[in-house]
Amino acid sequence: MSIIAIEKIVKKYGNFTAVDGISFEVKEGETFGLLGPNGAGKTTTIKMLTTLLPPSHGSARVAGFDVVKEQNDVRKNIGIVFQDPSLDEDLTGLENLQFHAILYKIPKEKRDRKIAEVLKLVELEDKADTLVRNYSGGMKRRLEIGRGLIHEPRVLFLDEPTVGLDPQTRRHIWDYIKKLATAGNITLILTTHYIEEADYLCDRVAFVDHGRIVALDTPQALKDKLGGDVISVNVKKGLEVLYKALKATRWIKSVSRHDDFLELNVMEGEKRIPGIITMANKHGAEIGAISLHKPSLEDVFLQYTGKTIREEEGNWKDSFRAMRMSRNR
């Protein structure tokens, strides 16, 4: 059963299209990821699904309710952990949860029990009476996740839940999210630009690039579509001529290029490296380094877009400027 259904949803700002005809469904109880660089349209999609932004075209239903016509019903059934911090730092952790519970009109007798459950879940029982300004970054994130669960939503939206956290804390938050996913009746929608995060947490992943979904499947199925091995070749001289030669080679399944690297998808990669070096020498190309690994989601993104997520992040500010210019016209 689908708890989220999106049909050709579009968001425009003047002449700039932030989300361009996205369609997908999310099953109840699933952890679904929107993976892509900053500026790809992930957060805009989340804002439309959570009624914070109206779509320009298309339709979307969350928990059976239309995000435009039945906004209050949608809001009752969702929780949100925003990308930017949204806690009141002048309140304690307990007071933040109490305030949120009151906003959702949770009865007093249920409110106290639920807050106790949430504090235990996110392991902040001993910090309940501490001002949030004295929390670490990871503690704040855990409290925000707990706050998003206080009214027992059917869907929890996590917008870049670990951005800005150190690797150890990030992994700790992943474990909490995993715990939520396995605990029971909740659907998780996650946006991220961290490849490892999507691979570790998500049942299915949609690659988002320039406002469009370019691939959607389970992380393993996406990697399996590449198959074989990936050979990364750093070319110091003669990249173009080597690229053309490799592209015409039968045993190479695909070749893509970015910056001064060539990415080759091949079978039995360890046996093919000597042949690549020989081919480079033959065409006067100079190899700086060569490496072999199994396909990752980064390789899949590269295959579909021609760029890595990190490279795409370098270009997102241009799209943001275009959006701002369109808004100001």
Placement of tokens 């009752």 in the chain: 76
For the stretch 86-110, pLDDT in tens is: 899 999 999 999 999 999 899 988 9
Angle at 25 between CA 186 and CA 122, to 5 degrees: 25
For residue 100, the tally of other CB atoms under 10 A from its CB is 22
CB of 190 within 8 A of CB of 198? yes
The CATH class that applies to domain 2-222 reads: alpha beta
For the stretch 49-94, pLDDT in tens is: 999 999 999 999 999 999 999 999 999 999 999 888 889 999 999 9
- The two tokens of residue 171 are 């992994």
* Helices 239-247, 269-282: inter-axial angle, 10-degree rounding: 130
**CATH fold of 228-294, please?**
Alpha-Beta Plaits (3.30.70)
Distance CA 138, CA 141 (A): 5
Note the pLDDT of residue 225: 86
Give me the residue spans of the domains in the chain: 2-222, 228-294
Note the pLDDT of residue 222: 92
CB of 266 within 8 A of CB of 231? yes
Note the pLDDT of residue 329: 44
- The two tokens of residue 270 are 């360890």
Burial class (CB in 10 A: 0-12, 13-18, 19+), 120: exposed
- The two tokens of residue 297 are 């989601």
Nearest of 97, 13, 27 to residue 55 by alpha carbon = 13
Distance CA 33, CA 47 (A): 15
CB of 128 within 8 A of CB of 106? no
Q: Does pTM top 0.85 for this prediction?
A: no
- The two tokens of residue 111 are 């409110």
Q: Any residues with CB less than 8 A from the CB of 292 and at least 6 apart, and which?
A: 229, 230, 231, 232, 269, 270, 273
Distance CA 25, CA 19 (A): 16
CB of 54 within 8 A of CB of 68? yes
Residues of the chain with pLDDT under 50: 316-329
